[in-house]
A = this chain, B = another copy of it.
Amino acid sequence: MTDHHPFDSIRIVMLRTWHPGNIGSALRAMKTMGFSRLILVAPNQFPHEDTVTMAAGADDLIDHVEVVNSLEEAIAGCNLVVGTSARSRSFPWPMLTSRECGEKLVAEAQGGEVALVFGQETSGMTNEELQLCHFHVSIDANPDYPVLNVASAVQILCYEIRQASLALESQPAEYTDPVPYPDTRQMEQFYDQLELALGDIHFIIRQHPGKVMTKLHRFFNRARPEQEELNILRGILSRIRQNAKVK
């Protein structure tokens, strides 16, 4: 495998990291698999000497780590967002196995930016954050002790991405370009337009969108419309609004 520009369009995102040492361990795990882009969302402590220590020979990546305040910022411009999650019992969402996750990220990274998101060490991801993801990935583990260190989870999932990439290289001819998907900004515009349209027809009260918008957000994020489908949906919303105004 050539590592000239390894996985440049795949960003690893860590949420509210508590122990700065884990950031270093994650960077080391990433670098062994050829990854270099880490974005931290509101880390407890960064920079920190424990990060440097645990990064070992991957300490050159520390200077390139980005720090932002929210998951929304971290995934800005991404066509695909996959969040790591313990097996969802109460929170049904499209699930990927760790292997499928590798294959999907490699396939979609050909045509755009993608993100793989890791939750806080103990509390994981909030429901709001989980709903920003198109898929959740769960690493199959011992049900009596499924407690993978966050750096171990980074190691396994980056390993699977690398494996999928190797498999793809060995059979490049069979690969077909993925369908274009809208990025997060376009989806936000769609949700804004949807809320305005539902206000126009008095399906929701503008000041109190309440749970309906949350549920629609969840539905359309999970549904993951393709670019062309989003265009149709936005065309419909536009017609609804024109129609309501004519009245």
Contact = CB atoms under 8 A, between A and B. Distances in A.
Contacts of A141: 32-34, 162
A13 B163 CA distance: 25
B156 A243 contact: no
Contacts of A146: 32
A227 to B, nearest CB: 12
Contacts of A232: 212, 215-216, 219
Q: Which residue of A218, A219, A226 has the most chain B CB atoms within 10 A of its CB atom?
A: A219
A156 B139 CA distance: 12
Interface of A: 1, 3, 6, 25, 28-29, 31-34, 56-58, 92, 98-99, 139-149, 151-152, 155-156, 159, 162-163, 166, 177-179, 198, 201-203, 212, 215-216, 218-220, 222-226, 228-229, 232-233, 235-236, 239-240, 243-244, 246-247
A6 to B, nearest CB: 7
Contacts of A218: 229
B201 A239 contact: yes
Contact of A155 (B155, B220, B229): B155
Contacts of A32: 141-142, 145-148, 152
B225 A142 contact: no
A28 B149 contact: yes
A6 B215 CA distance: 36
Contacts of A149: 25, 28, 56
Contacts of A147: 28, 32, 56-57
Contacts of A228: 215
